[in-house]
Amino acid sequence: MTRLANNQIYYLKQIYFLSGNKALTIGMLFVIILLSSFFDLAGIALIGQYFTMLLDPENINNNYLLSSISQNDYESSIINYGIILVIIFLLRSVIGLMINKFILSFSWNNQVKIQTYLLNAYQKLNYEDYINKNSSEYIQRIQHLVPQFSEGVLLPTLRVMSDGIVSLAIISLLAYLNIEALLIFFFILIIFASSYTIIFGNKSKIFGKKSNIETIKLIQRLNESIYGLKEIRLLSSEKYFHQKMKNSAEKFAKNKVNGLFISTMPRFLLEFVLIFFVVTMIAASVMSGDDPSKSLGVLAIFGTASLRLIPSASNIMGGLSLIRFGRNATNDLYNDLISLEKSKTKIKNKSTKKENFKSLLINDISYTYPNMKKSSLNNISLCINSGEMVGVIGKSGSGKTTLINLILGLLYQKSGEIRFNDENLSESLQSYWSTIAHIPQEIFLIDDSLKKNIALGVDDQEIDIEKLNFAINKAKLEEVVKGLPDNYETMVGERGIKLSGGQRQRIALARAFYFEKDFIILDEATSSLDNETENQIISEINNLKRKKTILIITHKHSTIKQCDKIIMLENGRIIKEGKYNDYFK
């Protein structure tokens, strides 16, 4: 029992943490709910008096409240009392709407806050941690788990709090008026609620966990099916991927339906509880020999209270079911946010001033990936000076990718040091990144205009057209731009699908020129191009020799003929260093 209570308290702490620790905001909501409860009580109490007035006009003089607002004639008293009732319920409705708007705004604003925080945190995530997860997991957390928490946990929690306070106030009133009737009502409600919780309580959590697992698989299947379209079509594997996606979608839908069915069940069953209670009360009155008409005033109060309590009880029970369903999502988000705080890449930079690339010194560095026994790099030393063209060759698995990620400042060496312009690289990353352009085999392009892809990350109104035209000219893109229907405003399509491989590479070059990068890193940049296009790109790169610092990582010997020096990697070590003729005679 103690363990269960501790789990529930821990869950509430997680919800509070994810809600932004807004104690003041939640406190304000609590005060507004109390005010709403007052009008609920006043309205319900007056309803009973109103029915008493209608059924027994002679009782007006015996009731202080009724006699204080009654007029000389019976009709005027009825009208005056009715007006008071209308005003009270109007105020109650207005406050109820305010509470609803407040809860909705708080929940949705919280969703935006967590989503933007997560994206920002993922962008700053330590690269070692980043590559340990499938991209579908990051998408699932932002796109699915956050809405599930905000809409399926935080929103129901606030509604449960709101309805719980109001229900407690109404129950206190009913206890004051007729404790016996309340006990009967409670007895019926407790039996129903206990049965519901015992049968369905734990199932909601199970359905929620299974739903989240299938969401990750669903996103992964969709990504694979869409991004691998060419290969899938050529292999005629559409049916395989379609079935995989369908299986995940069906399992997700099944668990979601089951969870929602459990959460909406109380609303329908509680109507039966209300009717059963009223019939039980009247039957008890008849069996005891009392005149049922004398109980109509109390029944009117209980009936009006039930009209308020039944939806509240439905919301509370349905809300608790949703909260149980969202337990797994809340736990995953909470753990993610806690771990992200520890795993953020702390970018240090002694100087905010943009520097020109002078040198990069790699001195005796080694690197081993987490949870791996074998080192990917061992005792690597290399010096790259401004204006040099350096080549790195080696077979697959030789350590080229790891070396590039270290040179890019994404991974941190386990031993040795890397110095940029004679400063420790970890102390000047921002300045270093401002000097380098990374051109991989697959160029990162967004589904926007050619202009926006060259000036990537710059707002449209801030793009320097003079610099843009200069970059287009230097990358030999003028003829391509002239041939496009809307010049450089032409949309390039998702991942640049409307462009050829060579054109995408030239856009990457243009991007380097636009941002005035000094150090250009070509990471298997021409591997997927045909020979003619590759020769054109290499020719343009060779023309930059002495004007830019260039590092070429490749397994193709033809691309490194003009390099000042070439190093060969094998099993994570440099086994040879020299010029092109030293390797290929």
495-524 pLDDT per residue, tens:
788 888 888 888 888 888 888 888 888 888
Does residue 468 or residue 529 have the better pLDDT?
A: 468
3-state SS track over 344-371 = ECCCCECCCCCCCCCEEEEEEEEECCCC
B/e letters for 185-200, b = 16+ CB within 10 Å, e = fewer, are: beebbeebbeebeeeb
- Using the structure block, give the residue that is written with the tokens 């290969």: 231
266, pLDDT greater than 60 = yes
Quick one: tokens of 425?
């690289």
Q: Please report the pLDDT score of residue 84 as a whole number.
A: 78
Q: How many CA atoms lie within 13 A of 9 on its CB side?
A: 6
Q: Where are the beta strands (DSSP E) in 368-427?
A: 377-385, 389-394, 415-420, 423-424
Q: Please report the pLDDT score of residue 538 as a whole number.
A: 79
- Using the structure block, give the residue that is written with the tokens 């005792």: 379
Domain limits, the chain: 7-343, 359-582
Instruction: List, edge to edge, every strand of the sheet that includes 573-578.
Output: 436-440, 519-523, 549-554, 389-394, 565-570, 573-578
- Judge whether 562 and 539 are in contact, CB under 8 Å: no
SS3 of 288, please?
A: coil
- Reported as a single tens digit per residue, the pLDDT across 231-258 is 566 456 677 777 877 788 788 788 878 8
190, pLDDT greater than 60 = yes
405, pLDDT greater than 80 = yes
- d(C-alpha 521, C-alpha 543), whole Å: 15
Q: Please report the pLDDT score of residue 361 as a whole number.
A: 92
51, pLDDT greater than 70 = no
3-state SS track over 157-196 = HHHHHHHHHHHHHHHHHHHHHCHHHHHHHHHHHHHHHHHH
**pLDDT band, very low/low/confident/very high, at 370 (cuts 50, 70, 90):** confident
- H or E, element range at 567: strand 565-570
- Judge whether 308 and 187 are in contact, CB under 8 Å: no
- d(C-alpha 226, C-alpha 232), whole Å: 9
Q: What are phi and psi of 575, to 5 degrees?
A: -100, -10
Which residues contact residue 509 at a Cβ distance below 8 angstroms, ignoring those fewer than 6 apart?
A: 439, 474, 475, 520, 537, 540
Most confident of 32-41, 126-135, 231-240, 512-521: 512-521
- d(C-alpha 411, C-alpha 341), whole Å: 18
280, pLDDT greater than 50 = yes
- The pLDDT of 105-119, averaged and rounded, is 82
Instruction: List, edge to edge, every strand of the sheet that includes 377-385.
Output: 377-385, 359-367, 415-420, 423-424
* Type of residue found at 275: I
Q: What are phi and psi of 535, to 5 degrees?
A: -60, -35
Quick one: tokens of 479?
């003829």
- H or E, element range at 568: strand 565-570
Instruction: Give 520's strand partners.
Output: 437, 550
- d(C-alpha 282, C-alpha 384), whole Å: 94
Regarding beta strands 519-523 and 436-440, do their DSSP bridges make them parallel or antiparallel, or are they unpaired? parallel
For CA atoms 52, 54, 56, 57, the dihedral sign is: positive
Q: What are phi and psi of 124, to 5 degrees?
A: -105, 10
Radius of gyration, alpha carbons of the chain: 35
**The two domains 7-343 and 359-582 share their CATH topology (first three levels equal):** no
CATH topology of domain 7-343: ABC transporter transmembrane region fold (1.20.1560)
Per DSSP, the chain holds a count of helices (H) and strands (E) of: 21, 10
User: DSSP characters for 221-266?
Assistant: HHHHHHHTHHHHHHTT-HHHHHHHHHHHHHHHHHHHHHHHHHHHHH
pLDDT over 70, % of the chain: 82
CATH annotation of 359-582: 3.40.50.300
Q: Which range has the worst mean pLDDT, 237-246, 282-291, 445-454?
A: 282-291
User: DSSP characters for 23-68?
Assistant: HHHHHHHHHHHHHHHHHHHHHHHHHHHHHHHHH-GGGGGG-HHHHH
Q: What are phi and psi of 439, to 5 degrees?
A: -115, 100
- d(C-alpha 451, C-alpha 444), whole Å: 14
pLDDT over 90, % of the chain: 2
* 361 CB neighbour count, 10 Å cutoff: 16
176, pLDDT greater than 80 = no
Cα 279 to chain center, whole Å?
A: 49
Instruction: Give 554's strand partners.
Output: 393
- d(C-alpha 167, C-alpha 209), whole Å: 31
Q: Please report the pLDDT score of residue 42 as a whole number.
A: 73
179, pLDDT greater than 80 = no
- Judge whether 493 and 453 are in contact, CB under 8 Å: no
Does residue 468 or residue 528 have the better pLDDT?
A: 468
64, pLDDT greater than 50 = no
- Judge whether 369 and 413 are in contact, CB under 8 Å: no
**Angle subtended at Cα 92 by Cα 177 and Cα 274, rounded to the nearest 5 degrees:** 50
Regarding beta strands 549-554 and 565-570, do their DSSP bridges make them parallel or antiparallel, or are they unpaired? unpaired
- Reported as a single tens digit per residue, the pLDDT across 319-328 is 777 788 888 8
**pLDDT band, very low/low/confident/very high, at 227 (cuts 50, 70, 90):** low
Q: What is the mean pLDDT of the chain?
A: 78
DSSP single-letter state for residue 442: S
403, pLDDT greater than 50 = yes
For CA atoms 278, 282, 288, 293, the dihedral sign is: positive
60, pLDDT greater than 60 = no
Q: Which of 138, 121, 131 is nearest to 402 (CA)?
A: 131
- Judge whether 541 and 524 are in contact, CB under 8 Å: no
- The pLDDT of 341-355, averaged and rounded, is 61
Q: Please report the pLDDT score of residue 228 as a whole number.
A: 61
175, pLDDT greater than 70 = yes
- The pLDDT of 554-583, averaged and rounded, is 84
* 169 CB neighbour count, 10 Å cutoff: 18
pTM (predicted TM-score):
0.71
